[in-house]
Structure 1
Amino acid sequence: MSSSFIPKRIALVLNLAMVAIQVFLIRSVSSMNETNSYLYHKCSEAEGKYKSKSPYEGNLNFLIKDMYKDTFVRGFVYAYHGDDPNTVYILLQCGGDSYGFKCGSCLSTATSELRRRCPMNKAGIVWFDKCLLKISPTAFFEKIDDKNKFYMYSTKKVSDPALFNVKTKALLTELTAKATRRSDKLLLYETGEMKLGKMKLYGMVQFRRDLWFTVCKTCLDKIIGELPKCYDGKEGGRVLSGSCNFRYEIYPFLDTVR
């Protein structure tokens, strides 16, 4: 029979070290989860529901499985499968800072969450910090979606709301112009920053890759136009629709490496 003896002082130090490691791990996991937070979802009841083991469910499962074969280097997938009335259309749009592996990871999270929040719904949409996933029994390629939209904003306000509103709109409008002047549609996304006295304003705009530049500009101009009404002097805010989105903050919020 063997035994070991550890002085109380050393044991206390070891226990404190273990607690510190556990706290660090908890914070690390929490931080990683926050990088792709669930934002919002919308289940469409108009299209009805599908039954378990039905042709519609089979087509949906086929599409999701097939999407995992993609490398997600473009951060965008639009596909459909099946014959009417069981055709399924699906779209994945990842954030401009989340292509490749991050995009595939977000697809996994989004499909699971959409099934959980919209069980058996033929149509639905879910937004995460890193991607948007949409399914429908109706084709929506190159069609603008402004029915699915939601708002997020900070509860804190800046000291000079009027000036801040003007500067924020100017930055987002400039980013929209740059994004819609690109020579190709590989990356319909733009980021930038603007110095505001002692602080900086950071902004981002993005729209779906299947939309035409003119449609994209119209989509972004429309939601940016809502700034004074919905975000009057707020330190941060974002609008996400089924076609385009923007975000601004007074701190850096994007991944620098995709």
Structure 2
Amino acid sequence: MQSLKLIAPHLFFFACLFYVFDPTESQNIIYSYCDTGNNYTSGSVFEQNLNLTLTSLASNASLTGFSTTAIGQNPNTVYGLVLCRGDVSQQDCQACASTASIEIIKQCSNNNKEAAISYDNCLLRYSDRRFFSTVDSSPKLMLYNVNNVTEPVVFNRQLGNLLRNLSSNAASSTSKFSAGQTNFLDFQYINAMVQCTRDLAGNNCSNCLQDIIRYIPQCCNGKEGGQVLSLSCNLRFEIYSFFLLSSPPPPSLVQPNSTSQDEKKSTSKVIVFVAIPLAATMVVALIVCCCFFWRNGKKKRVDTDPDQEGSMATLDQWNSYGAIGSSAAG
């Protein structure tokens, strides 16, 4: 009984720690798209090819962060694509792709022949028609931060310049991804990233990004952050750092205090495996659990702290401006 009393604080600490570093937190669905115009029959050859396609995409996603496949013969050919966010680790890419390959069938449960599902870390898509190298820039979802910037004219000018530079970099790179930041006000930055699917040619990637940038005045004008997501490209901007890399790729200035997801995981492992004296453990447990309650309280508010981690796991801090032919799921 005495030994149980001694280890109880440790167990409490580890329970809180597991919640704080829960890896499933980034696996919230941003949107799912199910084309209701065409359906397949359960047990059909198309369904068999679809299952093989999803298995292939989930297996190959983490190799390069991008994979396409076509399985079967017409009229039962299934075309599939998976794209991981350009700054996620192989492990997170694999986890996201595996989850997406399962959830897309659940989300589109009416045997849809064309569907897509998007998470913060990846996008997975399949269809009965060949869509590779074809631009689809129609926004499936647009999101905005509820807070307004203090200097919208300056902000919009700086954001426009940053997105143009990032778009140019992404279009000319093999990764079709670019992230960076620029000055906004004293000690404040605009952070942004853009990405295209890697099957697009450079000019098609550039055109896709230009198309979705034009939607910013509709969804996010004067807002502290926003996202525009289409099947072929997407963008995001914030006044706080949300990059999963230890530092954003150029163009960038000195990045304010940021902690990458990998650093968090490393920290959690160190804390778990290093022996901590009982008194120190209880103090750390108290701090961690205070952070837990503080973080949950923040999620219930609509305001966004500039120092907050930029994960779409906090979708309840965002409002959906619109969804075209899709549904958002949280």
TM range (shorter): 0.7 to 0.9
Checking the alignment, whether the CA contact within 8 Å between 2:78 and 2:126 is kept in structure 1 is yes
Q: Which residue pairs with 2:122 in the alignment?
A: 131
Which of these residues, 194, 204, 212, is aligned with residue 193 of structure 2? Answer: 204
Larger radius of gyration, structure 1 or 2? Answer: 1
Which of these residues, 226, 231, 236, is aligned with residue 237 of structure 1? Answer: 226
Q: Distance in 2 between matches of 1:54 and 1:220?
A: 38
Q: Which residue pairs with 1:250 in the alignment?
A: 239
Which of these residues, 76, 79, 85, is aligned with residue 89 of structure 1? Answer: 79
Q: Which residue pairs with 2:68 in the alignment?
A: 78
Q: Distance in 2 between matches of 1:60 and 1:181?
A: 33
Matched, 1:195 2:183: yes
TM-score where L is the length of structure 2: 0.69
Q: CA deviation at 1:16?
A: 4.9
Checking the alignment, whether the CA contact within 8 Å between 2:158 and 2:183 is kept in structure 1 is no
Checking the alignment, whether the CA contact within 8 Å between 1:172 and 1:203 is kept in structure 2 is yes
Aligned-residue sequence identity (percent) comes to: 32
Provide the alpha-carbon RMSD of the alignment: 2.2
Q: CA deviation at 1:24?
A: 2.4
Which of these residues, 44, 47, 56, is aligned with residue 54 of structure 1? Answer: 44
Q: Distance in 2 between matches of 1:93 and 1:66?
A: 13
Aligned CA distance change for structure 1 residues 172 and 47 (closer, same or farther; 3 Å): same
Q: Which residue pairs with 1:153 in the alignment?
A: 144
Q: CA deviation at 1:203?
A: 0.8
Superposed structure 1 runs of 4+ greater than 4 Å apart: 13-17
Aligned CA distance change for structure 1 residues 179 and 68 (closer, same or farther; 3 Å): closer
Q: Distance in 2 between matches of 1:26 and 1:84?
A: 47
Q: Which residue pairs with 1:27 in the alignment?
A: 20
Q: CA deviation at 1:27?
A: 2.2
Gaps of 5+ in 1: none
Gaps of 5+ in 2: 247-261, 263-330
* Deviates further, 203-212 or 158-167: 158-167
Q: Which residue pairs with 2:133 in the alignment?
A: 142
Aligned CA distance change for structure 1 residues 176 and 148 (closer, same or farther; 3 Å): closer
TM-score where L is the length of structure 1: 0.87
More strand by share: 1
Q: Which residue pairs with 2:215 in the alignment?
A: 226
Q: Deviation per CA, 1:14-71, whole angstroms, max 9, x where unpaired?
A: 5455434322222221xx23334321011101122x2222101111112222334436
Q: Distance in 1 between matches of 2:61 and 2:121?
A: 16
Checking the alignment, whether the CA contact within 8 Å between 1:123 and 1:136 is kept in structure 2 is yes
Q: CA deviation at 1:82?
A: 1.1
Q: Residue 150 of structure 2 aligns to a residue in which SS?
A: coil
Q: Residue 97 of structure 1 aligns to a residue in which SS?
A: coil
Aligned CA distance change for structure 1 residues 25 and 206 (closer, same or farther; 3 Å): same
Count how many residue pairs are aligned between Structure 1 and Structure 2: 245
Q: CA deviation at 1:101?
A: 3.0
Q: Which residue pairs with 2:202 in the alignment?
A: 213
Q: Distance in 1 between matches of 2:10 and 2:60?
A: 43
* Deviates further, 239-248 or 94-103: 94-103
